[in-house]
Amino acid sequence: MSFKSKALTTTEVSQAVKEWAPGLKDFALTEFNQQNFFKSAILAITESDQLMECMATAPGRESLYNAMKRAFSTGLSLNPQEGKACIIAYKGKASYQIMKEGAIDIVLDSGDVKTLMVEIVYENDAFGIEKSNAGDVYHFSPARRDRGNVDGYFCCITDMKGISHVKYLTEQECFEIRDNHSTSFKFSKETSPWTKSEKGMCKKTVIKTGIRDLYLSPSAKSRFAAEDFNTEDNKPPMKDITPIAGSSASDVAAKLKKEDPKPPAEEKKTDEPSTNETSENKGQF
């Protein structure tokens, strides 16, 4: 399929994603409904003017394919309404980002955690944590009326032994982590999930901070690491990045280095509109 710098149709996007499907299958780190994943990808692309612009150029399309590889490794839906993961664009390049609901799914799907809850603490709420070797205990009583401004965020994770682990971050600590680690916010605030869903991203941040001292399966850690390959220090985001050798996310790195990062060769577009929604990849969409 050949794309030029012009408006694309949903059919053209669907056909392009279908052509990418065989090359993406080797990157899956967990079992998930691949048909639903591809449907969510098509929806996410066609509902975003910025991603449609990426589809219209060769460099943009290549970066979108790279972002799709990272997305496929996590298996999280890209449906904007679900809030699990997203692909965002900056200056014609695409990048992958895990969202709060996706972080919760990864932790619970690991099989290493019984329960997870995450909440916002406002300045007029009553909140405290008691730490001990036997586990953490928290006390949380939301104010009945005026809760005031946001004070911070906490998550409580219960492991398979029944031990609770509570992590609290002030709002300012969340913002400091954002400023130090989120290149999407640093270079593209208007499209960053931090701008569109600040509280949700703060909740995701406290979850990721809370699991650092817990055991999670290598697969779960690699799913989280998929978004880490989007960034390089002191460089704008949304670049096509080769995974760094020796990364702790070895599973993802090995898979991402396994194949040529470029999308499959394009076919020349005919004058007739594409109406064939079934091909050798039948069942994927």
Q: Report the distance separating Cα 224 and Cα 228, nearest Å.
A: 8
Could you read off the pLDDT of 211-223 as tens digits, one per residue?
Answer: 988 899 998 999 9
In the chain, where the domains are located: 10-100+218-256, 113-210
The secondary element (H helix, E strand) that includes residue 199 is: helix 198-210
| Model confidence at 114: pLDDT above 90 | yes
The predicted pLDDT at position 184 comes to: 82
pLDDT band for position 244 (cuts 50, 70, 90): very low
The predicted pLDDT at position 264 comes to: 54
Which range is least confidently modeled, 69-78, 90-99, 197-206?
Answer: 90-99
The residue to which tokens 């149709």 are assigned: 9
The predicted pLDDT at position 91 comes to: 83
| Model confidence at 153: pLDDT above 90 | yes
The more confident residue out of 231 and 69 is 69
The more confident residue out of 234 and 151 is 151
Q: Report the distance separating Cα 106 and Cα 224, nearest Å.
A: 8
The DSSP code for 244 is P
User: Average pLDDT, stretch 189-197?
Assistant: 88
Of 143, 152, 166, 146, nearest to 121 (Cα)?
152
User: Average pLDDT, stretch 258-267?
Assistant: 52
The predicted pLDDT at position 166 comes to: 97
Q: What percent of the chain has pLDDT over 70?
A: 77
